A = this chain, B = another copy of it.
Amino acid sequence: MSDPPLRADARRNRARILAAAAEVFDAHGTSASTEEVARTAGVAIGTVFRHFPTKADLLTALMKDLQGRLAARAAALAEEGDGTALFTFFAEVVEYAAGARTVVHLLAVDVGVDRQVAALGTAVEVLLARAGEAGTVRAGVRADEVTALLAAACHGALAAGWTPDLRHRTVARLLDGLRP
């Protein structure tokens, strides 16, 4: 049930590996090799596989972290919340995704979507409800549509090489479709 506590060096290495994985996968995509993660972390390849028996396990750990940060940001925005929080969140995520390829991995099917996108979806639902109360969003817009648009924008911004300018204009157009 409870795991024996990690040795000091093991804790340190685990943290290093996660940081390196975020850096490498953000830069080169999730197809980057595990060996490059190990090299970046300053650790032997075996150590990576001791902590994360599978590359997928490593990815999952990263995704959990990322999804937690996104949900927290959404919650914070909902707190301050005038009706524009949804739009702010949307734009921020796309902006972040433009420089971090892991985000689209979170929004894609391959990862354990069920939980992860569900949780992100909840965040979007809350923001959408706030916007609905404030009347800043068109009637009839559903949360899954917003999440879908968010995923599309992130994928597009990364896969096709949008310039910052094009990215901003495109997101603006996209959000226009949600306004009354």
Contact = CB atoms under 8 A, between A and B. Distances in A.
Chain A contact surface mostly:
helix
Contact of A152 (B145, B156, B161): B156
Interface residues of A, number: 32
A144 B160 CA distance: 12
**Number of identical monomers bound together in the oligomeric complex:** 2
A152 B104 CA distance: 12
Interface in A96-122: 104, 107-109, 113, 117
B166 A173 contact: no
A155 interface: yes
Contacts of A160: 107-109, 113, 117, 148, 151-152, 155
A27 interface: no
A176 interface: yes
